[in-house]
Amino acid sequence: MSQRSPRENSCHILLDREGAGRVLVFQRTREGVQAAGDVAIASGTAVPGKLGGRDWQLLFRPRVDVAWMSADDVCLRLVDLPGGDPAELGSMVEMQLEKISPLPPSQVVAGYEVMGEASEGGVAVLVVIAPRNAIEARLDALRGRGFIADRLDVALARELISQAKEDGLWVVTDPGATPGLVTAAWRTGGRWRQIDVLRLPAGAGAGEVLTAALTRVAWAAELDGWLAGTIPSVRLVSDAATAENLSPALTNWSGQPVEHRALRDVTVTAADTARGALSGRGLTLVPPESAVRNRQAFVDRLWIRGLGTIGVTYLVGVLFYLAWLNFQKGTLEDEKVNLKGLAQHYTNALRLKDQVMILEEQVNLRFAALDCWQAAVEKLPTSMTLSSLNFIRGRTLRLDGTVDPTAREEVTRYNSDLAAVEVRDQKLFGAVKPAQVTVRGTVATWSFEAELNRLDAKGDK
């Protein structure tokens, strides 16, 4: 029965009518609580997830879900309580349950709403009492349909509170269409005196049963002193058929015309329920422990879904990583195969390069030998004799021969001429060592070496 501070900005109200059902959506706006939707559903079927489902969006857009309790399962009591802090009314109502409840307090759930002023500055409070097992059965049935009710209201009590604003006897039928169920509320002197719920038989005898019950209340009221023999004006709030059935009996009983007021449209009554729910006030028959359990189940479900989402995301990430790793492994194996092929090609290329260098070296040596032979022969004076021409390691040319001892200067000139020989615009010899002449009797032998000036296969001099 505790009142809470409002946080929600929307309210969904589930209406179960015979053969059909509806979910009415209300939004809190600057102009007040406004209707924002009306979705028809088959009676007793599951509520669509977008209307009854609860997910993480409720953390940012909280709402309150309300259903109506059948008036068959409740009883109404009127109690006068001392005025004071409204927050203490719940505790005071609980203290009164021992006296006003038809069942032990531990077996009932009670909700309340202030009706108006009472004697001695107190307040008149309408207490709605329902068996706990009926409440739990209703909540379980709603939960099975996918609708978690935060509040349970009673359409009969809501209609009475909204319609009865003046003194008189108010006979209000059930807007929930429970046949034969009416409430008789007495208000005199600007204060509420008594409220009773009556069940009337079908047919013509309903008026006699109603007036008999009202007569007993009137006698008791005369003894209590709040009804001084004169029946107050009677107002009947019902549909046209019920008014036609009850109005003659009420007129004969009260001795005055009965004022008939039509039941309001169910959407208007639902709007009153939504205003009370969104303001954090108004009666509710949902036990506090059930509300706490629903809240905890909602939080646990969010945790489970969040952890499940994280787990699935992690699993997908691991699978993606393994797939990527397998792909990279395959790519690596392909690269290794390619590398082996490239290594073989590289080895073959080096072998071919070496072979080419050898061939070039052989060609260069062949042409160098020919050039040296040509230069040595052309520059050889007639007074000198060439005995041998040798290549040493392919770079050094050694010349040996004889000369007349009196023509030793010819050897020196021959040495200088070979050093100056050019082939293809470059000197044939890079360095020519001085000649060595040895005289043995009438014959002199000479010899010298010359370093070839050429590029090898690697391009080095």
The predicted structure's pLDDT at residue 454 = 61
Q: Which residues contact residue 63 at a Cβ distance below 8 angstroms, ignoring those fewer than 6 apart?
A: 8, 9, 10, 11, 12
C-alpha angle 319-325-327 in degrees, rounded to nearest 5: 105
Residue where the block lists tokens 């792909």:
327
Q: What is the pLDDT of residue 458?
A: 41
Domain map (residue ranges) of the chain:
10-286, 368-452
Per-residue pLDDT of the chain (461 residues), as tens digits, is 545 545 778 899 988 876 678 889 998 888 888 888 888 888 778 888 778 777 777 777 788 889 988 888 888 999 888 877 777 888 888 888 888 888 898 899 998 988 877 767 788 889 999 999 999 999 888 888 888 888 898 888 888 888 888 889 999 988 866 778 899 999 988 888 889 888 888 877 888 999 999 999 989 888 888 887 788 899 999 888 888 999 999 999 988 999 999 988 888 888 888 888 888 777 888 888 887 887 888 777 778 888 898 999 999 999 999 999 999 999 999 888 888 888 888 888 888 888 888 887 777 777 777 888 888 888 888 888 888 888 787 778 888 998 888 888 888 888 888 888 888 888 888 888 888 888 887 888 989 888 887 644 344 44
Q: At what angle do helices 206-224 and 240-254 cross, to 10 degrees?
A: 50
Quickly list DSSP for 63-122: EEEEEEEPGGG-EEEEEEE--S-GGGHHHHHHHHHHHH-SS-GGGEEEEEEEEEE-GGG-
- Reading the block at residue 390, the tokens are 């040798």
DSSP letters spanning 146-194: T---SEEEEHHHHHHHHH--SSEEEEEE-TT--TTEEEEEEEETTEEEE
The helix/strand count (H/E) of the chain reads as 9, 20
418: phi > 0 → left, psi -120 to 50 → alpha, else beta; which? alpha
pLDDT value of residue 329: 92
Distance from C-alpha of 139 to C-alpha of 226, rounded to nearest angstrom: 40
Domain 368-452 sits in CATH at 3.30.980
